[in-house]
């Protein structure tokens, strides 16, 4: 690419973000936030889709497809690629979403 100011700015921002995420505690915090976001997303989707009882099957299908895509991304890569930060964040989001769905099922079953 050309050496423009916008390109330089995006490179500087990416490098600073990479250095900021190099700290293991910050990486752990972002992964935990991703897990909690997945948990919230699962609770929000199941409660809003379940109110009208018309979107239950569509919402469940979309969540299953999203979960399978995240699993394919995480498990089809090599060991080194699994350690990529965005892959770990997506997997943590998937785990939070799945955990939330299990808890919602237990709430409805009791």
Q: Which two tokens stand for residue 95?
A: 């785990």
6 located within any domain: no
pLDDT, tens digit, 9 for 90 and up, residues 47-76? 887 777 777 788 888 888 988 988 888 888
- Domain encompassing residue 83: 24-109
Residue 59: per-residue pLDDT: 82
> Residue 18 falls within a domain, yes or no?
no
Residue 42 located in a structural domain: yes
Which residues of the chain are under the pLDDT cut of 50?
A: none
In a domain, 2, yes or no: no
CA pair distance 91, 15, nearest whole angstrom:
24
pLDDT value of residue 79: 66
Q: In this predicted structure, what is the pLDDT of residue 110?
A: 59
| pTM score | 0.76
Residue 17 lies in a domain: no
Question: Cα Rg for the chain, rounded, in angstroms?
Answer: 18
The verdict on residue 32 lying in a domain is yes
Query: Which whole-number Å values give the CA distances from 25 to 29, 65, 100, in the listed order?
Result: 6, 31, 25
Number of domains the chain is built from? 1
* Nearest to 35, CA basis, from 88, 80, 95: 95
């Amino acid at each position: 690419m050309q050496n423009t100011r916008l390109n330089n700015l995006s490179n500087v921002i990416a490098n600073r973000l990479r250095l900021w995420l190099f700290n293991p505690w910050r990486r752990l915090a972002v992964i935990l936030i991703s897990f909690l976001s997945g948990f919230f997303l699962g609770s929000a989707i199941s409660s809003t889709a379940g109110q009208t009882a018309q979107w239950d099957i569509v919402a469940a299908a979309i969540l299953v497809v999203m979960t399978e895509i995240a699993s394919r991304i995480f498990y089809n890569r090599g060991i080194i690629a699994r350690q990529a930060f965005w892959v770990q964040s997506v997997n943590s989001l998937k785990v939070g979403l799945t955990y939330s769905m299990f808890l919602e099922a237990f709430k409805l079953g009791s």
